[in-house]
């Protein structure tokens, strides 16, 4: 499904959870974009504990576009009332739950705790919501609810994501230290700085090398900074930037291990009504 802007791409877990919450609360009578905005505000408020006054500030038109995209994709329908109301299709409900659980980067660690809370605390109610939504149009759309709503699988995927980034940081730390060590060795052997740059570029190419080769980058640096960048600052980048970040990820892995066996079992799901009246607004 196409996205409705960068904010939705970056925070779609919160937006998708808000749409599902509106569906779960208002039922088959449908929800409005203002209901989605309300739940976005609620979930943003939950995350304020770690981000100060942060809130996901979206305009009515942005939420409206997102909901209209759901309709266009077949993930929602409009019951035909004005102002427009929306109701998720069975496929849309499942696909949005998948979006809630998707994490492809570690930009915000606390967002994972929000995602985990949604699946751990409301897993039973979400299961009932999906089961009540009705049959899928195609068997290919059917999903394993146990797998979709298993919060321990979320933890396992998050752990894999953290471990992958930790391995990447470990390599960067090793190469930064090796860069400074190689620079000092070659300079002590009497090689020119240009020869050192060429050797470093061959052995330890930096991640942006395809966009701007290291030799080209160093040619643009003021002469007094070229040697110190390789000889000293490369190693400092390991000790003051990447090693603390690696320690943070390792600590986070410990937290994930503790979350893998929560002390409280998920609450049972109450029965869901087939329809729910919505007062006119």
User: Could you read off the pLDDT of 235-269 as tens digits, one per residue?
Assistant: 999 999 999 999 999 999 999 999 876 555 555 65
Q: How far is CA 86 from CA 10, 38, 59, in A?
A: 23, 15, 18
116 lies in the same domain as 233: no
Residue 182 lies in a domain: yes
95 domain-assigned: yes
Q: How many CA atoms lie within 13 A of 71 on its CB side?
A: 16
Residue 199 forms part of a structural domain: yes
Q: Let me know whether 134 and 38 are in one domain.
A: yes
pLDDT in tens, 65-80: 899 999 999 999 988 7
Phi, psi of 86 (to 5 degrees): -130, 155
Of 124, 149, 174, which closes a domain?
149
Shared domain for 14 and 127, answered yes or no, is: yes
Indicate the range of 105-109, 149-153, 212-216 predicted with least confidence.
Answer: 105-109
Domain of 185, in residue numbers: 164-259
- Does residue 134 sit in the same domain as residue 193? no
Bridge partner list, 77: 87
pTM above 0.85, yes or no: no
pLDDT digits (tens, 9 = 90+) for 22-52: 999 988 788 999 999 999 989 988 887 655 5
Query: What is the mean predicted confidence (pLDDT) over 108-119?
Result: 91
Residues 98, 132 share a domain = yes
Number of domains in the chain: 2
Structure token digits, residue 70: 């759901």
Mean pLDDT, residues 203-217 taken together: 89
Q: Do 91 and 19 sit in the same domain of this protein?
A: yes
**Domain boundary at 118, 149, 180, which?**
149
Residues 88 and 76: beta-carbon distance below 8 Å: yes
CB 253 within 8 A of CB 163: yes
């Amino acid at each position: 499904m196409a996205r409705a802007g960068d904010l939705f791409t970056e925070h779609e877990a919160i937006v998708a959870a808000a749409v599902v919450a509106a569906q779960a609360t208002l039922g088959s009578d449908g929800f409005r974009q203002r209901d989605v905005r309300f739940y976005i505000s609620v979930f943003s408020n939950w995350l304020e504990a770690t981000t100060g006054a942060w809130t996901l500030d979206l305009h009515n038109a942005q939420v409206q576009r997102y909901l209209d995209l759901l309709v266009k994709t077949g993930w929602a329908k409009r019951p035909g009332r004005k102002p427009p109301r929306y109701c998720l299709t069975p496929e849309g409900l499942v696909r949005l739950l998948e979006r809630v659980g998707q994490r492809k980067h570690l930009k915000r660690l606390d967002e994972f705790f929000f995602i985990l809370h949604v699946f751990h605390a409301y897993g039973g109610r979400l299961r009932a919501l999906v089961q009540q939504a009705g049959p899928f149009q195609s068997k290919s759309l059917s999903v394993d609810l146990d797998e979709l709503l298993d919060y321990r699988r979320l933890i396992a995927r998050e752990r894999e994501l953290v471990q992958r980034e930790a391995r990447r940081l470990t390599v960067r730390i090793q190469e930064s230290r090796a860069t400074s060590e190689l620079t000092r060795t070659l300079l002590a052997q009497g090689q020119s700085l240009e020869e050192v740059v060429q050797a470093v570029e061959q052995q330890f190419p930096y991640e942006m090398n395809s966009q701007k080769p290291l030799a080209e980058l160093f040619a643009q640096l003021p002469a007094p900074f070229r040697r110190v960048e390789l000889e000293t600052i490369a190693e400092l980048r390991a000790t003051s930037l990447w090693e603390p970040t690696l320690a943070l990820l390792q600590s986070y892995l410990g937290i994930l291990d503790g979350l893998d066996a929560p002390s409280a079992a998920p609450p049972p799901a109450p029965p869901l009504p087939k329809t729910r009246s919505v007062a006119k607004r």
